[in-house]
Amino acid sequence: MDAGNFISPSELILHPDGSIYHLKIKPEQLADTVILVGDPNRVEIISSYFDKIEFKGANREIHTHTGFLNKKRLTVMSTGMGTDNIDIVMNELDALVNIDLKSRTVKKKHKALDIIRLGTSGAIQPEIPLNAFVLSEYGLGLDGLLSFYNDRDKVVGREMTEAFIEYSKWPEEFPSPYAVPSSEKLTNKLGEGLVHGITATAPGFYGPQGRSLRLKLAYPDLMNKLEDFKFGALKIVNFEMETSALYGLGKLLGHNTLTVCVAIANRKKHEYNQNYKKAINNLIELILTRLTT
């Protein structure tokens, strides 16, 4: 065993049965194509389309089902909300396929997973209708997570990031923004006919997304700056809380990542669809069809 490659029990935490700590699954219980959702209840909805389910597990807000649809093996997993949870899920998904959990050493041969997030979001462009399917060509991180990793600058789109910082007059006391592209492979496979653009990922639902209830905002012009920013042909089309971390960690770890969300609100028009579950089911059916045929 290479002692320099050994990962200690305090850094790579496993359960007594050999499953990884937060996800609480073993490598053989994970498919090479993974669908991520925020809501644990949505896992059951997606796996109800499977022809066969071979594994079900749950730990805290992370529920996992693995099975087959049209002979393709899939895992669907809930993450809960936020980039902090994505940090856990992405690192542990990678560990399951690229670290030998018994020897606690990194494998010599790298495996790339296809990881697709299906979620909900708020549109910020007035022309995007409620229930539209929005594909994130870039994740624009306002959360700061990727700054904790050494090779951040190798995967960040520097020109877009710098253009946004300059245009928005981004406050120096805020986390440094970063823009990361989606997987070209998954975008080409799943993106036909969807709304494409930049997704802004916030570290919260209220102030970080420009919402004010009783607390005043430190950056009250945030929504206008996001709506008006353009980079080439791309606009910032929606707000959510996971994509930048998914894309950034995916690129650093060598996995293919993509987010497609239903626009259940339009922030510019002050609209919200309370009955968005049918639209979510329509998105699930569309993506499952494109993944498995």
Distance in angstroms (rounded) separating the CA atoms of residues 93 and 38: 16
Which band of pLDDT confidence, cut at 50, 70 and 90, is reported for residue 5? Answer: confident
Distance in angstroms (rounded) separating the CA atoms of residues 5 and 107: 10
Q: pTM above 0.95?
A: yes
Please tell me the predicted confidence (pLDDT) of residue 4. 62
Dig out the tokens for 51 from the structure: 């022809």
Dig out the tokens for 221 from the structure: 């012009």
CATH number of the domain within which 155 lies = 3.40.50.1580
> What are the pLDDT digits (tens) for 24-82?
999 999 999 999 999 999 999 999 999 999 999 999 999 999 999 999 999 999 999 99
Residue 143: which domain range?
3-292
Pairing of strands 256-266, 133-141: antiparallel
**Torsion (CA) 200, 258, 91, 152 in degrees, nearest 10:** -50
> What are the pLDDT digits (tens) for 180-195?
999 999 999 999 999 9
Which band of pLDDT confidence, cut at 50, 70 and 90, is reported for residue 253? Answer: very high
Q: CA dist 256 to 1, 32, 76, Å?
A: 30, 11, 16
Q: State how many domains the chain has.
A: 1
Q: Quick one: which of 249, 274, 267, 269 has its CA closest to 259?
A: 249
Stretch 244-248: mean pLDDT: 98
Q: Quick one: which of 196, 7, 210 has its CA closest to 92?
A: 7
**Is residue 3 pLDDT above 70, yes or no?**
no
Distance in angstroms (rounded) separating the CA atoms of residues 255 and 91: 11
Dig out the tokens for 178 from the structure: 């970063």
